[in-house]
Amino acid sequence: MEKSVQNLVWALKFPVVLTYTVALKLKNRHMNNAENYLVHQKDFFRSGFLQDKSDKFASVRRKISEYALLGGKCRALDIATGQGDQAISLKDAGFLHTYAIDVVPERVDYCRRIHCGSGIEFRHMDASALDFEDDYFDSVVVSAALHDMPVSVRRKVISEMARVAKGYVVIFEPRTFRNRIAAFLYGHFGSFVDESLNFRDYVSEDLDSVLVDSGLKVVSEEHIWMGMMSIKVCQKMNAGSRIRTHVGTKPVDIPPILFC
């Protein structure tokens, strides 16, 4: 019931958010490069009216977490956690240790305050330079953040996610299109309604090739949210031996049980 109320709040405030988004993008329109894109991101996410616990992706959080559990349930990392919604879902799904990072300090402070007592470790950190050891997490998750980044930054972040993941990386982002017409149309639509200054570049990129270059293989992809978003489940190519099993009717590879 609470999530339904939150979604209603999001729908009601959408016109205000859209107006704010367009105005801020006009102001920061030249800040889409690696040197300045964080200025725009911090400007946008510092806004108080975006911190009201509403979550437009509430309906898919559990699904993302279930995919993440394919890597094991010891440690999970949520990249660009925002309000912490995905981190909470990972914790609720059964991960014993959940970490969440964000590059915007105000968002980390918000999460520490709102989710105090959750047991989740929220840290202020740049996802392109993660302060974690190699293979530290069973799964790493990113939700609706990669499309905000310039190409060079995005590739560093993907490489870092692959480095610290032991088994799986789960990516929930706008769909990418190999069809140039589809990419053009969706790119222009997203550039209008989304806060990202790099949306068009993202949806036109061959993301699967970037993932392979970082040592990740896409083992499944699901299009959701009226086909506008996708969940890519990626397995680390050098991951250890795995056990063949099934989730529902689909065969999947599960890593051997490891101690935390």
Residue 14's pLDDT is: 73
- Domains of the chain: total: 1
Work out the pLDDT band at 246, boundaries 50, 70, 90.
very low
Rounded to an integer, the average pLDDT of 169-183 is 92
Element of type H or E holding 79? strand 75-79
pLDDT tens sequence across 180-206: 899 899 998 888 888 888 999 999 999
Taking the C-alpha atoms of residue 200 and residue 155, their distance in angstroms, rounded to an integer, is 16
Residue 110's pLDDT is: 92
Residue 162 · residue 214 · CB < 8 Å: yes
Q: What residues contact residue 178 under an 8 Å CB cut-off, 6+ apart? A: 206
Q: What is the mean pLDDT of the chain?
A: 87
Residue 240's pLDDT is: 53
Helix, strand, or coil (residue 222): strand
Encoded tokens for 243: 């056990």
Given a cut of 90, whether residue 209 has pLDDT beyond it is yes
- Domain of residue 141, residue span: 60-254
The model's pTM is: 0.85
Q: Is residue 51 part of a domain?
A: no
Work out the pLDDT band at 249, boundaries 50, 70, 90.
very low
Work out the pLDDT band at 244, boundaries 50, 70, 90.
very low
**Number of other residues whose CB lies within 10 A of the CB of residue 76:** 32
Q: Is residue 176 part of a domain?
A: yes
Q: Is residue 13 part of a domain?
A: no
Q: Is residue 17 part of a domain?
A: no
Given a cut of 70, whether residue 28 has pLDDT beyond it is yes
CATH number at residue 129: 3.40.50.150
Find the Cα–Cα–Cα–Cα dihedral 247, 250, 251, 253, rounded to 10°. -50
Q: Is residue 28 part of a domain?
A: no
pLDDT tens sequence across 122-151: 999 999 999 999 999 999 999 999 999 999
Where is pLDDT greater, at 154 or 34? 154
Helix axes 2-27, 37-45, angle to 10 degrees: 140
pLDDT tens sequence across 77-128: 999 999 999 999 999 999 999 999 999 898 899 999 999 999 999 999 999 9
Q: Is residue 137 part of a domain?
A: yes
Q: Is residue 55 part of a domain?
A: no
Residue 23's pLDDT is: 83
Residue 180's pLDDT is: 87
- What percent of the chain is modeled with pLDDT above 70? 85
pLDDT tens sequence across 215-237: 999 999 999 988 899 999 999 99
